[in-house]
Amino acid sequence: MEKIPVRNIRATQKDTTFSESFSIRDGADLLAGKDMIQELHRHDFFYVLALEKGAGYHEIDFIPYEVCDHSVFFMRPGQVHQLVLKAGSTGFLMQFKAGLYAPKDKIRSQLLRKAGSTNLYQPGATGFKKLQAVLTSIFQEYTEQQQGYQEVIKANLTVFLVELARLNNTGSPNKVSTYMQERLEHFLELLETHIASHKQVSQYADMLNLSPWQLNAITKATLDKTCSELIQEYIILEAKRYLLATSGQVIQIAGHLGYEDISYFIRFFKKHTGYSPEVFRHNFR
């Protein structure tokens, strides 16, 4: 089965151990006066494109966005995207792996999940200046590599994530408990890992030591969707990713997603998209 192209962080600094988990580049230097054109691919890291000035086109998991001034694109590992960034755009491209922080660091894990729940932030000129100041500090530390620069970068990255999380607040009281949010995050992680073999609510509930009723209550309270809806949405999303980013046959993609009966997979896909897999690939590729 052909895999979706996956890009890794390239080690560009002397400290290769750290730079394999983190990098930040100046947008103008990255473009070097030319357009950047990236075909559909995915990353195994978090991807942040913060643009003071920007023009172009960005599609993330098949949702199109116009690239504009004072915008921040934030992508989670596994998401697929394609990008056209016009020459003259300025800002920063920052990439980092979740492992940059300690595995049991729940606070930063929650910040990452909250920041990653939105792919495009448009804070306006004033709000962007605040984010830009943090990124400029991170870039300086990354470039100069003075003593303790790694910890300074991590601290500033936390500040950046907090600022994005604040932009996600609507001002209404948060009625979701920390416990519910943690269970939801764990469920979504399991969904990404086990979707090919686990498609029943009861299977995920068992792995979380919950009853199906409890898991559904959590997904309804946090995302206003049932657990079954989230499972189905993720299957369709992953199918779309493989249909558009690879040349794999429909039977191979169905098998990759755990469907032995290709006819059932085709019916399932058409029910949720309005297209057969082949027509979807032809129309949207």
**Token pair listed for 119:** 């792919």
Q: Kindly state whether residue 265 falls inside one of the protein's structural domains.
A: yes
Q: Which of 107, 135, 168 is the last residue in one of the domains? A: 168
Statement to judge: residues 183 and 113 lie in one domain: no
Q: Is 1 domain-assigned?
A: no
pLDDT digits (tens, 9 = 90+) for 80-136: 999 999 999 999 999 999 888 766 677 787 788 888 889 999 999 999 999 999 999
Segments forming the whole domain that contains residue 206: 178-284
Asked if residue 70 belongs to a domain, the reply is yes
Task: Pick the last residue of a domain from 134, 168, 202.
Answer: 168
| Number of domains present in the structure of the chain | 2
Q: Are residues 99 and 191 in the same domain?
A: no
Let me know if residue 71 belongs to a domain.
yes
pLDDT band at residue 285 under the 50/70/90 scheme: confident
- Co-location of 32 and 160 in the same domain: yes
How confident is residue 172, by pLDDT bands cut at 50, 70 and 90?
very low
Boundary residue ending a domain (113, 139, 168): 168
Residue 262 sits in a domain whose CATH number is 1.10.10.60
In whole angstroms, what is the distance from residue 7 CA to residue 77 CA? 10
Residue 105: inside a domain: yes
pLDDT at residue 181, rounded to an integer? 82
pLDDT digits (tens, 9 = 90+) for 209-266: 999 999 999 999 989 999 999 999 999 999 999 999 899 999 999 999 999 999 999 9
183 and 164 belong to one structural domain: no
The closest alpha carbon to 266, from 253, 251, 276, belongs to: 276
Cα-based angle 154, 78, 260 (whole degrees, multiple of 5): 155
- 128 in a structural domain: yes
Q: Is residue 173 part of a domain?
A: no
